[in-house]
Chain A
Amino acid sequence: MHILRDVRTMMIVLLIPVVLMILFGFAISTEVNNLNVAIVAPNRTEGVRQVVERLANNPYFTVVDYDSSIDIDKVLRSGKADAVVVFDEDYEHLIAQRAEGIDTHPAIQFIFDASNTNIAQTGAVYLQNVVSTDHSRQELLNLHLLYNPQMKSAYNFVPGIMGLIFILICAMMTSVSIVREKEMGTMEVLLVSPVRPIKIILAKMIPYFVISCINLATILLIAHYLLDVPMSGGLGGIVFISLIYLILALALGLLVSTLASSQVVALLISAMVMLLPMMMLSGMVFPLENLPTVLKPLPYIVPARWYIEAIRKMMIMGLPLSAVVKEVAILIFMTFVLMGVSLKKFKDKLE
């Protein structure tokens, strides 16, 4: 009843996930769509034609130029093409020699405009992939991308966003709403009533739990229908893990509320101590392997890390619930510890 009064906050809370999903899904996309390719082929032999055909038919590439000789530098500088594929004059011969095991110089050369490293890297990998799909030419290149062959960024960020949003809404909002009661003085009156503290806490948590469940549904719907995330590990498992994570986030919020004395402090603690490490140390933005050795143990205590890992496994890799038992167990353990500590800390006295 109380949160319904604050329509603005309510709308923000419900819209955040939608906006974030769409923003990350379409605007801040690290995947490569519509790569403009120019092709240079001195001899248009059968083999060359096959490769060009494949490129032209691929929705990710647009062949903007196909000629026997091009001023490569000019095409790239003018922005007409993002990449140039150069076939060797002796393409067929080189391929044949390779097939016989004779070491030759490369038959195809990719030249990339690397001013956007993201496009260049992802594009190069994908280009290689397309060019070498012909099994007879496997030996030219050998690269496989598993689970996410197009390297769709949605697959990477959806679990990350989920980890982030639930902390944001459950932990931050719960802590702020409890601390607001302290700040307004209403907590004093609540405490001097026969209602047990556990009831007060539950009453504070349930609305945010419900909101988060709505958010969970929204995120899953957007992820599945708008961003084509597979959810191959089974929806039930994903929801189950998410619910555990929600409760964990609520416990975290409660803990913050027992530590903070004002709404501002609660917000700061939530943002600085929870949100920031969550983004940095959960593997959502930066690969954990790149952390300096000193910081390596830190991600082990960040709940979002385990959640994101589990969701990633289930959503993208399509593993069943049994494959993420370790993550789930850790999350449940963390939930119990946090709940225990915060319930103990939440006193029914003022000090």
Chain B
Amino acid sequence: MSAIKVENISKSFGKVKALDGISFDVKRGELFGLIGPDGAGKTTLFRVLATLLNPDEGGAEVDGFDIVKDYHAIRERVGYMPGRFSLYQDLTVEENLNFFAALFGVKVEDSYDLVAPIYRQIEPFKTRRAGKLSGGMKQKLALSCALIHRPSVLFLDEPTTGVDAVSRSEFWDMLADLKQRGITILVSTPYMDEASRCDRIALCNEGRILGIDTPTDIVAGFDSSLYAIKGDNMYQLLLAARKANGVRECYPFGEAHHMIADAEFDVEQFKAELVEVKGLHIEPTKPSIEDMFIKLMKQ
């Protein structure tokens, strides 16, 4: 049985279609990532699955319960961490944890083994008010609070947004650890580089899912040849490359431009075409998830 089963969910706000026929399955104990830019509908999807919103069409099951009919049962067994820091800023770290334990009717000690690896990192600051914590510590506290009632499914909406690189990496280590304990985790992130830490990912954009697979298979599914090009004048290069023969797509990517080429693309011919661009340098490169995302988005 899958832990989360989403079938053809649509949700509109006025004229804006936030979710447009979304379907996917998450297996028990899986770390599933929703990867997509802001406005892709990730937060809306979380709210639907966390039973805060009812879908316009379609349905979903979380842990075997229907999100519309049995929403009380779902609320008892999921941990939800909204994208925005949503703890009481004027309560201390310790008080927040106790408050959430009380809210779910559990004792902190009972879940301490689960929470401890995370909570121990912020324990030195337990008398500090939550509002005064750094971004990374806030997220650790929020995760501790979401775990306090031993949920079987965790919903984490952009948990690493606004967190420094080191804390982000630590955060993903914690998620891997929680996964080991059998908790199903649905996590969203706008950072493509984090996608490789998930078991499977769904690339989403504008309320639709572009593709679902493991990070390696997603990248392996990139069937065109990809080149990285550089030049003295990068903007001129970008415009020129887009007009060149056999170039399907060219876009800035870090300090180079990435270029998706057709089958009939020829490097020598390309160089000849762009002779006016000084210092042209072209080499084949390995596709990343971001390349795949852009390719799928343009289709």
Contacts and interface: CB of A to CB of B under 8 A. Distances in A.
Given A193-B75, A193-B104, A188 B91 contact: no
A188 B84 CA distance: 10
A321 to B, nearest CB: 40
A101 interface: no
Contacts of B37: none
Nearest to B52: A350
A185 B104 contact: no
3 residue pairs, one from A and one from B, having the closest CB atoms? A185-B86, A192-B80, A350-B52
Given A184-B86, A186-B87, A189-B80, A350 B103 contact: no
Given A185-B84, A189-B80, A194-B104, 18 more contacts: A1-B91, A2-B88, A2-B90, A185-B85, A185-B86, A186-B86, A188-B47, A188-B52, A188-B80, A188-B86, A189-B82, A192-B75, A193-B104, A195-B104, A349-B51, A349-B52, A349-B53, A350-B53
Contacts of A189: 80, 82, 86-87, 100, 145
Contacts of A1: 91, 95
Interface residues of A, number: 18
Contacts of B145: 189
B281 interface: no
Given A2-B88, A5-B91, A188 B82 contact: yes
Interface residues of B, number: 26
Contact of A194 (B76, B84, B95): B76
Interface of A: 1-2, 5-6, 184-186, 188-195, 349-351
A349 B68 CA distance: 11
B102 to A, nearest CB: 9
Nearest to A194: B76
Contact of B103 (A185, A190, A351): A190
B105 interface: yes
Contacts of B95: 1
Given A5-B91, A185-B84, A191 B52 contact: yes
Contact of B88 (A186, A191, A193, A351): A186
Contacts of A349: 51-54
A150 to B, nearest CB: 49
B132 interface: no
Interface string B33-54: 0000000000000010011111
Given A186-B88, A351-B53, A192 B105 contact: no
